[in-house]
């Protein structure tokens, strides 16, 4: 299995797509956002710093994210492929990632660019709820993705919460950052010939099918 990377604006559904890939292909899902949210709960200098950055929608310093990614990719479960989600967020991180792959002897794999309309993103961002226990994702603005019981996870009964940065103000900041920083990253991967563009405006299933056709080798680039 090749490694999989997502480039997508906030709330484009990359977490949901990653879950579907994990379910089908049994590879680990490495989300820098999830790792940083765990660090933000630590009562330490770094914990407080990360917590502050996360609540205002900015980016955590590269030296922190670079180290945590390298440490995570060295673990045995990454040897047969993994999904990397939320990294790289800028061209410096992309270049560091190239070096980490070289060091570990890994190939780039597939880079999926998920494109989606801004209005649709706003709707998804304000309705997103996450299970604090199993991290399952719901959307109360969507009939099919709402939990069956308010504020409760269908899968494990855990409590659902709204991420601190899932509000319109933080979204605007994160979206502008995304547009500014990703252009160079997209060009970087286009040059490497590993970029696949996916229309993210469809349903979860439609988007997954488009991705899976490529992963399972049915689609030639």
Active site members: 14, 89, 128, 163, 174
Q: Using an 8 Å Cβ cutoff, are 181 and 90 in contact?
A: yes
**Cα–Cα distance for residue pair 68/65, rounded to 1 Å:** 5
**Cα–Cα distance for residue pair 121/79, rounded to 1 Å:** 34
Q: Which one of 13, 57, 109, 200 is in contact with ligand AMP (CB under 6 A)?
A: 57
Site string for ligand AMP, 139-178 (x = CB under 6 A): --------------------------x--------x----
**Cα–Cα distance for residue pair 29/7, rounded to 1 Å:** 14
Determine if 53 is a binding residue for ligand AMP (CB under 6 A).
yes
3-state class percentages of the chain: helix first, strand second, coil last, to nearest 5:
50, 15, 35
Q: Which one of 20, 22, 59, 140 is in contact with ligand AMP (CB under 6 A)?
A: 59
Q: Which one of 7, 27, 60, 125 is in contact with ligand AMP (CB under 6 A)?
A: 60
Determine if 40 is a binding residue for ligand AMP (CB under 6 A).
no
Instruction: Note the Cα 141 to chain centre separation in Å.
Output: 20
Determine if 91 is a binding residue for ligand AMP (CB under 6 A).
no
| DSSP SS3 for 202 | coil
Site string for ligand AMP, 10-39 (x = CB under 6 A): x---------------------xx--x---
Determine if 86 is a binding residue for ligand AMP (CB under 6 A).
yes
Q: Tell me the Cα Rg of the chain.
A: 17
Q: Which one of 93, 121, 166, 182 is in contact with ligand AMP (CB under 6 A)?
A: 93
**Cα–Cα distance for residue pair 38/47, rounded to 1 Å:** 9
Query: How many CB atoms neighbour CB 153 within 10 A?
Result: 22
- Given the complex with ligand AMP, which of 3 and 32 has the nearer CB atom? 32
Residues forming contacts to ligand AMP in the complex (CB under 6 A) are: 10, 32-33, 36, 53-54, 57-60, 65, 86-87, 89, 93, 165, 174
């Amino acid at each position: 299995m090749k490694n999989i990377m997502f480039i997508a604006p906030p709330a484009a559904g990359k977490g949901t797509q990653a879950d579907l890939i994990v379910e089908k292909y049994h590879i680990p899902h490495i989300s820098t956002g999830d790792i940083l949210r765990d660090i933000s709960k630590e009562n330490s200098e770094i914990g407080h710093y990360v917590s502050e950055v996360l609540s205002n929608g900015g980016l955590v310093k590269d030296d922190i994210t670079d180290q945590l990614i390298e440490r995570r990719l060295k673990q045995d479960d990454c040897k047969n492929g993994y999904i990397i989600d939320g990294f790289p967020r800028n061209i410096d991180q992309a270049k560091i990632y190239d070096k980490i792959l070289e060091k570990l002897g890994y190939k780039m794999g597939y880079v999926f660019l998920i494109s989606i309309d801004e209005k649709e993103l706003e709707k998804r961002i304000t309705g997103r709820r996450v299970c604090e226990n199993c991290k399952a994702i719901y959307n109360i603005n969507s009939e099919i993705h709402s939990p069956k019981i308010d504020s409760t996870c269908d899968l494990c009964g855990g409590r659902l919460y709204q991420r601190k940065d899932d509000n319109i103000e933080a979204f605007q900041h994160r979206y502008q950052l995304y547009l500014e920083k990703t252009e160079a990253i997209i060009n970087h991967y286009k040059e490497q010939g590993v970029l696949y563009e996916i229309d993210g405006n469809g349903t979860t299933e439609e988007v997954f099918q488009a991705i899976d056709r490529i992963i399972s080798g049915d689609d030639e680039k």
